[in-house]
Protein backbone atom coordinates (compact mmCIF):
# COMPACT_ATOMS: atom_id res chain seq x y z
CA UNK A 1 0.00 0.00 0.00
CA UNK A 2 1.35 3.42 -0.90
CA UNK A 3 2.46 5.47 2.10
CA UNK A 4 -0.26 7.86 3.23
CA UNK A 5 -3.01 6.33 1.05
CA UNK A 6 -6.42 7.01 2.56
CA UNK A 7 -8.71 4.05 1.59
CA UNK A 8 -12.03 2.49 2.61
CA UNK A 9 -10.22 0.05 4.90
CA UNK A 10 -11.02 1.01 8.47
CA UNK A 11 -12.72 4.32 7.61
CA UNK A 12 -15.49 5.17 10.03
CA UNK A 13 -17.43 7.88 8.18
CA UNK A 14 -18.57 6.04 5.03
CA UNK A 15 -22.32 5.57 4.75
CA UNK A 16 -23.74 2.06 4.50
CA UNK A 17 -24.77 1.09 0.97
CA UNK A 18 -28.16 -0.56 1.53
CA UNK A 19 -30.41 -0.69 -1.54
CA UNK A 20 -34.09 0.23 -1.35
CA UNK A 21 -34.99 -3.08 -3.02
CA UNK A 22 -36.17 -5.87 -0.69
CA UNK A 23 -36.40 -9.27 -2.42
CA UNK A 24 -38.78 -12.01 -1.33
CA UNK A 25 -39.38 -14.93 -3.72
CA UNK A 26 -41.50 -17.04 -1.39
CA UNK A 27 -44.46 -18.33 -3.44
CA UNK A 28 -47.82 -16.68 -2.77
CA UNK A 29 -50.11 -18.35 -5.30
CA UNK A 30 -53.19 -20.21 -4.01
CA UNK A 31 -54.62 -21.97 -7.11
CA UNK A 32 -57.53 -23.77 -5.44
CA UNK A 33 -58.58 -21.01 -3.04
CA UNK A 34 -58.46 -18.47 -5.86
CA UNK A 35 -60.51 -20.56 -8.29
CA UNK A 36 -63.62 -21.42 -6.25
CA UNK A 37 -66.64 -19.45 -5.11
CA UNK A 38 -67.71 -18.06 -1.75
CA UNK A 39 -70.78 -18.52 0.40
CA UNK A 40 -71.82 -17.87 3.99
CA UNK A 41 -71.77 -20.21 6.98
CA UNK A 42 -74.05 -19.51 9.96
CA UNK A 43 -72.66 -22.00 12.46
CA UNK A 44 -69.48 -23.85 13.37
CA UNK A 45 -70.87 -26.99 11.71
CA UNK A 46 -71.88 -26.05 8.17
CA UNK A 47 -74.21 -28.46 6.36
CA UNK A 48 -75.64 -28.89 2.87
CA UNK A 49 -77.49 -31.57 0.89
CA UNK A 50 -76.84 -33.60 -2.23
CA UNK A 51 -79.35 -35.57 -4.25
CA UNK A 52 -79.42 -37.80 -7.30
CA UNK A 53 -81.84 -39.12 -9.88
CA UNK A 54 -82.91 -42.73 -10.11
CA UNK A 55 -80.93 -44.79 -12.61
CA UNK A 56 -82.27 -44.68 -16.15
CA UNK A 57 -84.32 -47.79 -16.91
CA UNK A 58 -86.83 -49.22 -19.34
CA UNK A 59 -90.07 -47.28 -19.01
CA UNK A 60 -93.19 -48.52 -20.77
CA UNK A 61 -96.68 -48.51 -19.26
CA UNK A 62 -99.67 -50.47 -20.51
CA UNK A 63 -102.65 -48.48 -21.63
CA UNK A 64 -104.98 -47.90 -18.71
CA UNK A 65 -102.48 -49.15 -16.13
CA UNK A 66 -102.73 -47.86 -12.58
CA UNK A 67 -100.09 -45.47 -11.30
CA UNK A 68 -97.11 -47.11 -9.62
CA UNK A 69 -95.86 -45.71 -6.30
CA UNK A 70 -92.85 -43.44 -6.52
CA UNK A 71 -89.51 -44.93 -5.52
CA UNK A 72 -87.32 -41.83 -5.29
CA UNK A 73 -84.48 -41.83 -2.75
CA UNK A 74 -83.89 -39.27 -0.05
CA UNK A 75 -81.23 -36.57 -0.20
CA UNK A 76 -77.86 -36.91 1.54
CA UNK A 77 -76.79 -34.47 4.24
CA UNK A 78 -73.11 -33.48 4.38
CA UNK A 79 -71.31 -31.18 6.80
CA UNK A 80 -67.93 -29.68 7.57
CA UNK A 81 -66.46 -27.90 10.59
CA UNK A 82 -65.34 -24.32 10.43
CA UNK A 83 -61.71 -23.65 11.23
CA UNK A 84 -60.25 -20.49 12.72
CA UNK A 85 -57.19 -19.15 10.93
CA UNK A 86 -55.08 -16.46 12.61
CA UNK A 87 -51.91 -14.54 11.89
CA UNK A 88 -50.30 -12.13 14.34
CA UNK A 89 -47.73 -9.39 14.03
CA UNK A 90 -45.63 -7.61 16.65
CA UNK A 91 -43.40 -4.63 15.93
CA UNK A 92 -41.46 -2.71 18.55
CA UNK A 93 -42.05 1.02 18.75
CA UNK A 94 -38.33 1.56 18.25
CA UNK A 95 -38.46 -0.33 14.95
CA UNK A 96 -41.47 1.77 13.98
CA UNK A 97 -39.40 4.91 14.59
CA UNK A 98 -36.12 4.07 12.84
CA UNK A 99 -35.43 4.68 9.16
CA UNK A 100 -35.93 1.46 7.17
CA UNK A 101 -34.93 0.42 3.68
CA UNK A 102 -37.07 -1.44 1.18
CA UNK A 103 -40.42 -0.45 2.67
CA UNK A 104 -42.06 2.79 3.71
CA UNK A 105 -43.49 1.41 6.95
CA UNK A 106 -42.42 -1.66 8.93
CA UNK A 107 -45.97 -2.09 10.25
CA UNK A 108 -47.59 -2.03 6.80
CA UNK A 109 -44.92 -4.33 5.40
CA UNK A 110 -45.45 -6.90 8.15
CA UNK A 111 -49.23 -6.71 7.65
CA UNK A 112 -48.85 -7.61 3.97
CA UNK A 113 -46.58 -10.53 4.83
CA UNK A 114 -49.02 -11.92 7.39
CA UNK A 115 -51.93 -11.73 4.91
CA UNK A 116 -49.98 -13.67 2.28
CA UNK A 117 -48.92 -16.26 4.84
CA UNK A 118 -52.51 -16.68 6.01
CA UNK A 119 -53.73 -17.30 2.46
CA UNK A 120 -51.07 -19.98 2.00
CA UNK A 121 -52.10 -21.64 5.28
CA UNK A 122 -55.72 -21.80 4.09
CA UNK A 123 -54.71 -23.29 0.73
CA UNK A 124 -52.55 -25.87 2.51
CA UNK A 125 -55.42 -26.89 4.81
CA UNK A 126 -57.96 -27.16 1.98
CA UNK A 127 -55.66 -29.35 -0.09
CA UNK A 128 -54.02 -31.49 2.58
CA UNK A 129 -56.30 -32.05 5.56
CA UNK A 130 -58.34 -35.24 5.55
CA UNK A 131 -60.30 -35.38 8.81
CA UNK A 132 -62.56 -32.80 10.39
CA UNK A 133 -62.42 -32.29 14.13
CA UNK A 134 -65.01 -30.73 16.42
CA UNK A 135 -62.42 -29.27 18.78
CA UNK A 136 -62.74 -28.85 22.53
CA UNK A 137 -62.39 -25.49 24.27
CA UNK A 138 -61.84 -27.22 27.62
CA UNK A 139 -58.93 -29.22 26.25
CA UNK A 140 -57.81 -26.21 24.17
CA UNK A 141 -57.99 -28.14 20.88
CA UNK A 142 -58.95 -26.45 17.66
CA UNK A 143 -61.74 -27.23 15.21
CA UNK A 144 -60.45 -28.49 11.90
CA UNK A 145 -62.12 -28.54 8.52
CA UNK A 146 -62.08 -31.53 6.19
CA UNK A 147 -60.17 -30.90 2.97
CA UNK A 148 -59.33 -32.90 -0.09
CA UNK A 149 -57.17 -35.37 1.80
CA UNK A 150 -54.23 -35.28 -0.60
CA UNK A 151 -51.33 -35.63 1.84
CA UNK A 152 -51.36 -39.41 2.29
CA UNK A 153 -49.43 -41.40 -0.30
CA UNK A 154 -51.88 -44.31 -0.53
CA UNK A 155 -54.92 -43.32 1.54
CA UNK A 156 -57.90 -43.71 -0.76
CA UNK A 157 -60.48 -42.95 1.96
CA UNK A 158 -59.14 -39.59 3.13
CA UNK A 159 -61.03 -36.36 2.60
CA UNK A 160 -63.73 -35.28 0.16
CA UNK A 161 -61.90 -36.76 -2.84
CA UNK A 162 -62.40 -40.33 -1.60
CA UNK A 163 -65.44 -41.00 -3.81
CA UNK A 164 -63.47 -41.48 -7.04
CA UNK A 165 -59.95 -42.84 -6.65
CA UNK A 166 -57.52 -44.23 -9.21
CA UNK A 167 -54.68 -45.94 -7.31
CA UNK A 168 -51.25 -46.39 -8.88
CA UNK A 169 -50.40 -48.71 -5.98
CA UNK A 170 -52.62 -51.50 -4.80
CA UNK A 171 -51.31 -51.65 -1.22
CA UNK A 172 -49.64 -49.22 1.15
CA UNK A 173 -46.50 -51.41 1.23
CA UNK A 174 -46.16 -51.58 -2.54
CA UNK A 175 -43.78 -48.60 -2.71
CA UNK A 176 -40.95 -50.53 -4.37
CA UNK A 177 -42.85 -50.69 -7.65
CA UNK A 178 -44.11 -47.13 -7.80
CA UNK A 179 -44.56 -46.01 -11.40
CA UNK A 180 -44.89 -42.70 -13.19
CA UNK A 181 -48.31 -41.20 -13.80
CA UNK A 182 -49.55 -42.54 -17.12
CA UNK A 183 -51.99 -41.13 -19.62
CA UNK A 184 -54.16 -44.21 -19.07
CA UNK A 185 -54.39 -43.55 -15.32
CA UNK A 186 -55.14 -39.91 -16.06
CA UNK A 187 -58.00 -40.74 -18.44
CA UNK A 188 -59.28 -43.46 -16.11
CA UNK A 189 -59.97 -40.94 -13.34
CA UNK A 190 -61.62 -38.54 -15.79
CA UNK A 191 -63.90 -41.36 -16.92
CA UNK A 192 -64.63 -42.40 -13.32
CA UNK A 193 -65.72 -38.85 -12.48
CA UNK A 194 -67.81 -38.69 -15.66
CA UNK A 195 -69.48 -42.01 -14.79
CA UNK A 196 -70.42 -40.45 -11.43
CA UNK A 197 -72.03 -37.47 -13.16
CA UNK A 198 -69.08 -35.09 -12.93
CA UNK A 199 -67.39 -32.98 -15.57
CA UNK A 200 -63.99 -32.01 -14.11
CA UNK A 201 -62.42 -28.82 -15.42
CA UNK A 202 -59.18 -28.53 -13.43
CA UNK A 203 -56.31 -30.80 -12.44
CA UNK A 204 -54.14 -29.71 -9.50
CA UNK A 205 -50.71 -31.27 -9.57
CA UNK A 206 -47.22 -30.79 -8.14
CA UNK A 207 -44.10 -30.01 -10.13
CA UNK A 208 -42.86 -33.42 -11.27
CA UNK A 209 -46.25 -34.75 -12.31
CA UNK A 210 -46.93 -31.51 -14.20
CA UNK A 211 -43.88 -32.41 -16.29
CA UNK A 212 -45.20 -35.95 -16.75
CA UNK A 213 -48.55 -34.62 -18.01
CA UNK A 214 -46.68 -32.31 -20.40
CA UNK A 215 -45.06 -35.42 -21.90
CA UNK A 216 -48.42 -37.04 -22.74
CA UNK A 217 -48.63 -37.69 -26.47
CA UNK A 218 -52.38 -37.95 -27.10
CA UNK A 219 -54.85 -35.19 -27.98
CA UNK A 220 -53.47 -32.39 -25.85
CA UNK A 221 -53.59 -28.68 -26.50
CA UNK A 222 -50.59 -26.55 -25.62
CA UNK A 223 -51.63 -22.96 -24.97
CA UNK A 224 -49.22 -20.05 -25.18
CA UNK A 225 -49.19 -16.30 -25.66
CA UNK A 226 -46.02 -16.52 -27.79
CA UNK A 227 -46.24 -14.93 -31.25
CA UNK A 228 -46.12 -17.28 -34.24
CA UNK A 229 -42.83 -15.71 -35.28
CA UNK A 230 -41.21 -16.68 -31.98
CA UNK A 231 -38.83 -19.64 -32.23
CA UNK A 232 -39.06 -20.70 -28.60
CA UNK A 233 -40.17 -24.29 -27.92
CA UNK A 234 -43.52 -24.54 -26.14
CA UNK A 235 -43.42 -27.91 -24.32
CA UNK A 236 -45.87 -27.41 -21.45
CA UNK A 237 -49.41 -28.77 -21.52
CA UNK A 238 -51.71 -26.22 -19.88
CA UNK A 239 -54.98 -27.63 -21.23
CA UNK A 240 -55.79 -31.29 -21.85
CA UNK A 241 -58.65 -32.17 -24.18
CA UNK A 242 -59.96 -35.61 -23.31
CA UNK A 243 -62.92 -37.74 -24.34
CA UNK A 244 -64.62 -36.44 -21.19
CA UNK A 245 -64.02 -32.74 -21.64
CA UNK A 246 -61.30 -30.12 -21.39
CA UNK A 247 -59.33 -29.73 -18.16
CA UNK A 248 -56.83 -27.07 -17.14
CA UNK A 249 -53.56 -28.36 -15.69
CA UNK A 250 -52.72 -26.21 -12.64
CA UNK A 251 -49.46 -26.26 -10.72
CA UNK A 252 -50.18 -26.44 -7.01
CA UNK A 253 -47.26 -26.48 -4.55
CA UNK A 254 -49.38 -27.96 -1.78
CA UNK A 255 -50.70 -31.06 -3.55
CA UNK A 256 -48.75 -34.11 -2.39
CA UNK A 257 -46.04 -35.02 -4.88
CA UNK A 258 -47.40 -38.57 -5.20
CA UNK A 259 -51.04 -37.57 -5.86
CA UNK A 260 -53.11 -35.76 -8.49
CA UNK A 261 -56.41 -33.97 -7.81
CA UNK A 262 -59.14 -33.81 -10.49
CA UNK A 263 -61.69 -31.09 -9.68
CA UNK A 264 -65.00 -29.77 -10.98
CA UNK A 265 -64.56 -26.24 -9.66
CA UNK A 266 -68.21 -25.14 -9.67
CA UNK A 267 -69.07 -27.60 -6.90
CA UNK A 268 -66.55 -26.30 -4.37
CA UNK A 269 -67.08 -23.26 -2.14
CA UNK A 270 -65.44 -21.48 0.76
CA UNK A 271 -68.13 -20.99 3.41
CA UNK A 272 -67.17 -18.04 5.62
CA UNK A 273 -68.48 -17.75 9.13
CA UNK A 274 -66.22 -14.79 9.84
CA UNK A 275 -64.69 -12.97 6.84
CA UNK A 276 -61.08 -11.90 7.12
CA UNK A 277 -60.68 -9.03 9.60
CA UNK A 278 -57.76 -7.22 11.19
CA UNK A 279 -57.67 -5.89 14.77
CA UNK A 280 -55.11 -3.83 16.63
CA UNK A 281 -54.58 -5.61 19.92
CA UNK A 282 -54.34 -3.89 23.30
CA UNK A 283 -50.88 -2.55 24.12
CA UNK A 284 -48.96 -4.58 26.65
CA UNK A 285 -45.71 -2.68 26.53
CA UNK A 286 -43.40 -0.83 24.16
CA UNK A 287 -44.66 -2.48 20.99
CA UNK A 288 -47.59 -2.61 18.59
CA UNK A 289 -49.63 -5.80 18.18
CA UNK A 290 -52.20 -6.86 15.61
CA UNK A 291 -54.05 -9.96 14.48
CA UNK A 292 -55.76 -11.21 11.33
CA UNK A 293 -58.64 -13.65 11.92
CA UNK A 294 -60.98 -15.54 9.63
CA UNK A 295 -63.20 -18.55 10.22
CA UNK A 296 -64.31 -20.71 7.33
CA UNK A 297 -64.82 -24.20 5.99
CA UNK A 298 -64.78 -26.06 2.70
CA UNK A 299 -68.15 -26.88 1.13
CA UNK A 300 -67.99 -29.84 -1.25
CA UNK A 301 -71.41 -29.58 -2.86
CA UNK A 302 -70.92 -32.66 -5.04
CA UNK A 303 -67.84 -34.65 -3.96
CA UNK A 304 -68.45 -37.35 -6.58
CA UNK A 305 -67.89 -34.79 -9.34
CA UNK A 306 -64.17 -34.87 -8.54
CA UNK A 307 -61.52 -37.44 -7.76
CA UNK A 308 -57.86 -38.23 -7.27
CA UNK A 309 -55.00 -40.41 -8.43
CA UNK A 310 -52.87 -41.65 -5.54
CA UNK A 311 -49.51 -43.31 -5.17
CA UNK A 312 -47.70 -42.22 -8.33
CA UNK A 313 -43.94 -41.56 -8.44
CA UNK A 314 -42.84 -38.21 -7.03
CA UNK A 315 -39.71 -38.05 -9.20
CA UNK A 316 -37.99 -40.04 -11.91
CA UNK A 317 -37.18 -43.44 -10.47
CA UNK A 318 -38.62 -42.61 -7.04
CA UNK A 319 -40.01 -45.51 -5.01
CA UNK A 320 -41.41 -43.50 -2.08
Average pLDDT over residues 252-267: 92
Q: What is the pLDDT of residue 230?
A: 52
Q: pLDDT class for 17, splitting at 50, 70, 90? A: low
Domains and CATH numbers, the chain: 33-49+76-310 (3.90.1690)
Q: Encode pLDDT of 175-184 as tens digits.
A: 556 678 999 9
Q: What is the pLDDT of residue 314?
A: 84
* SS3 category, 45: strand
Q: Which of 119, 131, 142, 80 is nearest to 254 (CA)?
A: 119
Q: What is the pLDDT of residue 225?
A: 47
| pLDDT > 90? residue 13 | no
Q: What is the pLDDT of residue 99?
A: 86
* SS3 category, 230: coil
The pTM assigned to this predicted structure is: 0.84
Q: What is the pLDDT of residue 102?
A: 80
| pLDDT > 60? residue 195 | yes
Q: What is the pLDDT of residue 69?
A: 79
Q: pLDDT class for 24, splitting at 50, 70, 90? A: low
Helices (H) and strands (E) in the chain, counts: 4, 13
Q: Encode pLDDT of 199-253 as tens digits.
A: 999 999 999 999 999 988 764 555 544 454 554 545 567 899 999 999 999 999 9
Transcribe 196-227 into DSSP letters.
TT----EEEE-HHHHHHHHT--SSEE------
Q: What is the pLDDT of residue 26?
A: 65
Average pLDDT over residues 30-39: 92
How far apart (Å, rounded) are the C-alpha atoms in residues 36 and 126?
12
Q: pLDDT class for 75, splitting at 50, 70, 90? A: confident
Please state the separation of Cα 267 from the chain's center in Å. 15
Q: What is the pLDDT of residue 153?
A: 61
Q: What is the pLDDT of residue 226?
A: 47
What does R_g of the chain's alpha carbons equal in angstroms?
A: 27
Q: Which helix (H) or strand (E) holds 84?
A: strand 83-92
| pLDDT > 70? residue 9 | no
pLDDT: is 17 or 149 the higher one?
149
Average pLDDT over residues 54-80: 86
Q: What is the pLDDT of residue 178?
A: 65
Q: What is the pLDDT of residue 2?
A: 65
| pLDDT > 70? residue 135 | yes
Q: What is the pLDDT of residue 301?
A: 93
Q: Which helix (H) or strand (E) holds 271?
A: strand 268-280
Highest mean pLDDT among 27-31, 73-77, 103-107, 183-187: 183-187
Amino acid sequence: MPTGLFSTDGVIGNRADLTEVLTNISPTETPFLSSIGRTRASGVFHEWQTDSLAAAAANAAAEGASAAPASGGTSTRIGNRTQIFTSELEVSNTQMAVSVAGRASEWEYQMKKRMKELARDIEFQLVNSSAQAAGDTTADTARQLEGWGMAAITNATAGFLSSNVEPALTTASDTGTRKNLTETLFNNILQTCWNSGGNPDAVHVNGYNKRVISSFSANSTRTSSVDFGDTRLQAAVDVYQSDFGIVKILLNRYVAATNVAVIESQYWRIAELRPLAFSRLAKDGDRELGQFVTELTLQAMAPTSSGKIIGVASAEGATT
